[in-house]
Structure 1
Amino acid sequence: MEHALIRPAVPDDAEAIGRIHVAVWQHAYAGLLPQQALDELDPVARGAWWRKGLITGAASAWVAVRGGEIVGFAGAGPAVGEPEITQLYTLYVLPEHHGTGVAGPLTAAASGDGPALFNVLDGNARAIRFYEKIGFRFDGHTSTERLFGIEVVEHRMIRD
């Protein structure tokens, strides 16, 4: 399989990013978040959100392109409350491209090679294995958040 081209996202990528965002949430969070809420996610609305963010600079992302198709994206920025550390906010790769070597370069492009952190949803075993493989480890910090009307636990993973 050909290597993916990793490049900064542009507003014209927003539709594909929105589609991937929703598809990956529906796949990765099945059984972890309410199914009805996952089923109701709207890729068009998510794409519009990304388009606006990419145009205004409120959001930034890197995309992975393989065979002319965007197959994943990642976004990072200063960590909330710890701006000297990069926080990986998003890393989503279409399920059919899992294990193909796309996620590592996307992570590197978005988060650089310095200290970084990522909050992973409790129970997201696949993501945990991936982040451990590329050098992230749990630091013992957990937080709770409300998503779709339920309280979820996230665990912080860091890369020194």
Structure 2
Amino acid sequence: MSPLVVREAGVDDADEVARVHVRSWQAAYRGLIDQSVLDGLSIAERATGWRRLITDPLPTTLGLLVAERDDRILGWTSFGSGRDPDGLADAEVYGIYADPDAWSTGAGHALLDAAEQRMADAGHARAYLWVLDGNVRADTFYARHGWIEDGAIKIEERPGFTLCEHRRVKLLAP
């Protein structure tokens, strides 16, 4: 087995990023989001969105990284300047997902470490991320990596479902 490589994503990675995104949601959010919503997720639709975001990133975006082994993308993370309206002007991990077959392989750890370093290198002293309520696996992962709940909650209405999330924060190494 070759080593795990973390690298910047390119437009040619959009299909694999979308595959990981959909498979991860379907596994991690089972029982937390209506099953019909999870079953209706489309890799092709997500890939179109990822191609657009890779080609024309948000002005706040600092990076979209993938973890890859043996030419297979195992996970990804996107991150940048904070987008929350509550005045928290820190960095934000927009998303971090690993293919369920890659859970507990070190891919998520490598991605989170790389994102934290990139955010710190960009001058951010702190970062935050949002975790879907009830996602014990993610909460355990983030707690192991020093991310602490700060009591903030967010309710986001999406077509056909509602996301209830809580925020975790972390001081970044200089």
8 Å CA contact retained: 1:121, 1:154 = yes
For residue 57 of structure 1, report the CA deviation from its aligned partner.
2.5
In structure 2, distance between residues paired with 1:25 and 1:48: 17
Q: Within the alignment, does 1:144 sit opposite 2:144 as a pair?
A: no
One-letter code aligned to 1:95: P
Alignment of 1:58-97 (within 5 A): 58=58, 60-80=63-83, 81=85, 82=87, 84-97=89-102
One-letter code aligned to 1:62: L
SS in 2 for 1:61: strand
The TM-score normalised by the length of structure 2 is 0.86
8 Å CA contact retained: 2:37, 2:160 = no
For residue 83 of structure 1, report the CA deviation from its aligned partner.
6.6
8 Å CA contact retained: 1:33, 1:148 = no
Deviates more, 1:13-22 or 1:53-62: 53-62
Count of matched residue positions in the alignment of Structure 1 and Structure 2: 160
CA offsets 1:35-66 (integer angstroms, 9 cap, x no match): 01110100011011101111112364100011
Residue 108 (structure 2) aligned to one of 103, 107, 111: 103
One-letter code aligned to 1:149: G
For residue 84 of structure 1, report the CA deviation from its aligned partner.
3.7
Deviates more, 1:25-34 or 1:96-105: 96-105
One-letter code aligned to 1:24: S
Gaps of at least 5 residues in structure 1 are none
In structure 2, distance between residues paired with 1:3 and 1:34: 37
Gaps of at least 5 residues in structure 2 are none
Match of residue 11 from structure 2: 11
Match of residue 49 from structure 1: 49
One-letter code aligned to 1:23: R
Percent identity of equivalent pairs: 34
In structure 2, distance between residues paired with 1:89 and 1:130: 16
CA offsets 1:10-48 (integer angstroms, 9 cap, x no match): 000001001110110111111000101110100011011
For residue 153 of structure 1, report the CA deviation from its aligned partner.
1.5
CA offsets 1:57-114 (integer angstroms, 9 cap, x no match): 2364100011111110000011114574110011010111111111111012223244
The TM-score normalised by the length of structure 1 is 0.93
RMSD over aligned Cα, in angstroms?
1.6
In structure 2, distance between residues paired with 1:77 and 1:158: 14
